[in-house]
Structure 1
Amino acid sequence: MSQVVADDVGPLRPQQQFASLYTDLSHTVRDLGLLRRRYAYYWTRIGLVLASLGGIVTGFVLLGNSWFQLFMAAALALVLTQVAFLSHDSAHRQIFDSAAWNDWTARVLAGGIAGMSITWWRSKHSKHHNAPNQVGKDPDIGPGVLAFTPDNAVRRSSAAQWLTDRQGWLFFPLLTLEGISLHVSSLQHQFRRGATRMERIEAAVVISRLGGYVAALFLLLPPGKAAAFLGLQLALFGVFLGASFAPNHKGMPLVPATMKLDFLRRQVLMSRNIRGGLLVDFALGGLNYQIEHHLFPSMPRPNLRRVQPIVREYCAKHGVKYTEVGLFESYRIVTDYLNNVGLRARDPFQCPLTAQYRA
């Protein structure tokens, strides 16, 4: 690659050299109108979700004391996943021009319907968007049940080492616990010391939603069936959500904590798109266009498919690697990556630009 030299200040560093790439791309996208709101799309989806929830409640009441209620539990998990996707879009301000409308829609969808704190999620997710796959900055690869980085793997206690050694194979079974984890993390955030007034109001909404839901199950069903309904719904909810987020960054390059990258490369090189049609779009909530979403977080979901060929061509023109694989291939990559970290405590996916930028 040829070196760019400024007139007065000498050679430009690589991150300066490529700083204008995103600006040029964003101007093109804005001029094409791809950042405009898609009200008809979102009102339709919100209406369908609410109608589906009404149908599930009606079916639940009509079925009564029956093991067929487990089908209702599976349907509820699927619909709540779509609610979570809509709250994600609203929190990113994709739905309305008004920031207040987006914020309150996200609160109602996440807290009142899905039973999760949007303030907790937004704080965590914003850090992820600011530094995807950057060690020490991206909470999605921070210490937890699974070790997503070699450093986390070697620092595990002996009690956790058995899990770490097998974490690639156990990743998807562990997603059955993700639904419970999301609810618990939400409540912990809302009841932490120093919580704001809005967070305490949000906590009351979340507790009312979760408590009312559990009470309704045990009032209308025998304890065994109620517990089975609750367990299946939470397990499937965790799998559906976890399977939509897992392919996006796991197994992509890890960025050293002190490394600086220009915005375009930071978002594109650390993200992975998933090929597929409308079914994949539905199952992953538009997150299969992860590269485009990271480049334009406020872009309405239906426009991500339209902007994809523009971004892909732009990346090819400027020599920025654009990664896109099939859904099952992405899961294989995630499993292999976690096994590499857990079994060999090494990272086979170091950032390919590290040496260049360090120089």
Structure 2
Amino acid sequence: MKIKFHAPVGANFYSEVRQRVSEDFSERGIAPNGNMLMWIKLFVFLAAFVTLYFTILLSGFNTYVLCLLTLLLGVVSAFIGFNICHDAIHGSFSDNKKVNKVLSMLFHLVGANPYVWNITHNIVHHTYTNIAGHDEDIEIAPGLIRICREEQRKPHQRFQHLYAFPLYGLASLSWVLRKDYKKFFQSNIGSRKNSHPRIEYFNLFFYKVLYYTVFIFLPIAFMDVSWWMVLIGFLLLHLAQGITMGLVFQLAHVVECTDFPLPQADGNMKQAWAEHQMRTTANFATGSVLASFFLGGLNRQIEHHLFPKVCHVHYPRISLIIKQVALEFGIPYHENKTFLCALRSHYRLLKRLGSS
């Protein structure tokens, strides 16, 4: 079914908030792209990544230290995705398209394909947020985790609040070994038909092989450990990366306050697109300096969904405008004050949907 967002009469929320945000950028004389802070983040996270990788590869530390460093490398990999690749693929890191293209290629460092991500996330998720059967970003583990009431509940899902979190860790491993291939070759993603340029077939396999070489075959060749220990390290890397990425994305959309609306029989949604984004998205830990630095603005998903072409360093400023306009139009602005509050809300939602 083709989903359509028809704005109700007089629903001018989005045009109003866009105008005020645009005026704010103009009055301050700044561009909506990244500033020096983004380049500092680029240097910090890439330096940490390279340092950790070569320390693990060449240092000869004992097993326990190597495991700790590998877990840390997984977390840093997630931060590269959050802070650099996410903005670059959205075209918001720089006003130069070539710079964004080059930086988006860093997504291969975390084992993911930027072309597939652009389709599943930028196009499909950002359009059909939290709509079951269309937004495949919320399909964490189909058949295992139930996140909306319209799904048929299965007996084992009464335990989903317990096993969901370990599954988030496996999500990154699935992404590297399975998800990109599956999404690339399936006939459609949501309601979008798949059709790819020939070069993307080459890119998919070339960069996957390159990733496997860097993170599996080179460690086997250069490290003084058994091959099976390298595979355990590869698993640990993705457990850390997966849990970090999974929690951040789930806490933005799968919490108690967010909606999971379905289209009407004719495919129309009840709300206009921008109001739909407000009702299906939640912020968390917006007062935390650490969250703002490390999560790449993904703790401010409301601002990101309304303004995906604006770099995340500007979200704290424009959030004030969005809150005010939402208040004026009577539209909810969902927010959990801390990371733990959001985590508890996500846990309670999983528990409730698993039992009723």
The alignment status of 1:278 with 2:289, answered yes or no, reads yes
Selected match of 1:242 from 224, 246, 253: 246
Q: 1:191, CA displacement in angstroms?
A: 5.7
Return the letter of the residue paired with 2:350: L
The alignment status of 1:26 with 2:24, answered yes or no, reads no
CA distance 1:168–1:307, shift in 2 (3 Å): same
Selected match of 2:303 from 273, 292, 300: 292
User: For residue 266 of structure 1, what is the aligned residue in structure 2?
Assistant: 276
Give yes or no for contact 1:244–1:283 (8 Å, CA) kept in 2: no
The alignment status of 1:231 with 2:235, answered yes or no, reads yes
User: For residue 191 of structure 2, what is the aligned residue in structure 1?
Assistant: none
Give yes or no for contact 2:300–2:315 (8 Å, CA) kept in 1: yes
| Residues in 2 aligned to 1:177 and 1:127: alpha-carbon distance in whole angstroms | 23
Return the letter of the residue paired with 2:225: P
User: For residue 340 of structure 2, what is the aligned residue in structure 1?
Assistant: 328
1:207-259 alpha-carbon deviations (Å, 9 max, x no partner):
21223320122221422532332221110000010111111011311112222
| Residues in 1 aligned to 2:327 and 2:75: alpha-carbon distance in whole angstroms | 37
| Residues in 2 aligned to 1:292 and 1:65: alpha-carbon distance in whole angstroms | 43
TM-score, reference length from structure 2: 0.84
Give yes or no for contact 1:175–1:239 (8 Å, CA) kept in 2: yes
| Residues in 1 aligned to 2:78 and 2:133: alpha-carbon distance in whole angstroms | 29
| Residues in 2 aligned to 1:329 and 1:171: alpha-carbon distance in whole angstroms | 17
SS in 2 for 1:17: coil
| Residues in 2 aligned to 1:242 and 1:46: alpha-carbon distance in whole angstroms | 22
Selected match of 1:177 from 170, 181, 197: 170
The alignment status of 1:45 with 2:49, answered yes or no, reads no
User: For residue 116 of structure 2, what is the aligned residue in structure 1?
Assistant: 120
Selected match of 2:207 from 186, 205, 208: 205
| Residues in 1 aligned to 2:22 and 2:145: alpha-carbon distance in whole angstroms | 39
| Residues in 1 aligned to 2:272 and 2:52: alpha-carbon distance in whole angstroms | 47
The alignment status of 1:166 with 2:162, answered yes or no, reads no
User: For residue 329 of structure 2, what is the aligned residue in structure 1?
Assistant: 318
Larger radius of gyration: 1
Q: 1:339, CA displacement in angstroms?
A: 1.9
Selected match of 1:88 from 82, 86, 89: 86
The alignment status of 1:309 with 2:320, answered yes or no, reads yes
Q: 1:16, CA displacement in angstroms?
A: 2.4
How many residue pairs get aligned? The number is 323
Give yes or no for contact 2:53–2:73 (8 Å, CA) kept in 1: no
Structure 1 alignment gaps of length 5 or more: 1-12, 345-359
Selected match of 1:256 from 251, 256, 262: 262
User: For residue 353 of structure 2, what is the aligned residue in structure 1?
Assistant: 341
Q: Percent of aligned pairs with the same residue? A: 21
1:116-151 alpha-carbon deviations (Å, 9 max, x no partner):
111221211121111211233222334714222223
Return the letter of the residue paired with 1:133: N
Give yes or no for contact 1:247–1:334 (8 Å, CA) kept in 2: yes
| Residues in 2 aligned to 1:269 and 1:24: alpha-carbon distance in whole angstroms | 18
SS in 2 for 1:153: coil
The alignment status of 1:222 with 2:225, answered yes or no, reads yes
Q: 1:190, CA displacement in angstroms?
A: 4.4
* Higher RCO (C-alpha under 8 Å, 6+ residues apart): 2
| Residues in 1 aligned to 2:57 and 2:339: alpha-carbon distance in whole angstroms | 37
Give yes or no for contact 1:267–1:295 (8 Å, CA) kept in 2: yes
TM-score, reference length from structure 1: 0.83
| Residues in 2 aligned to 1:332 and 1:283: alpha-carbon distance in whole angstroms | 21
Q: 1:29, CA displacement in angstroms?
A: 0.6
Q: 1:172, CA displacement in angstroms?
A: 1.2
SS in 2 for 1:273: strand
| Residues in 1 aligned to 2:32 and 2:333: alpha-carbon distance in whole angstroms | 25
1:270-310 alpha-carbon deviations (Å, 9 max, x no partner):
11110231112234321111111111011111100111111
SS in 2 for 1:148: coil
Give yes or no for contact 2:89–2:101 (8 Å, CA) kept in 1: yes
Selected match of 1:78 from 75, 80, 84: 75
Return the letter of the residue paired with 1:265: E
| Residues in 2 aligned to 1:244 and 1:141: alpha-carbon distance in whole angstroms | 12
| Residues in 1 aligned to 2:79 and 2:220: alpha-carbon distance in whole angstroms | 25
Moved over 6 A (4+): none
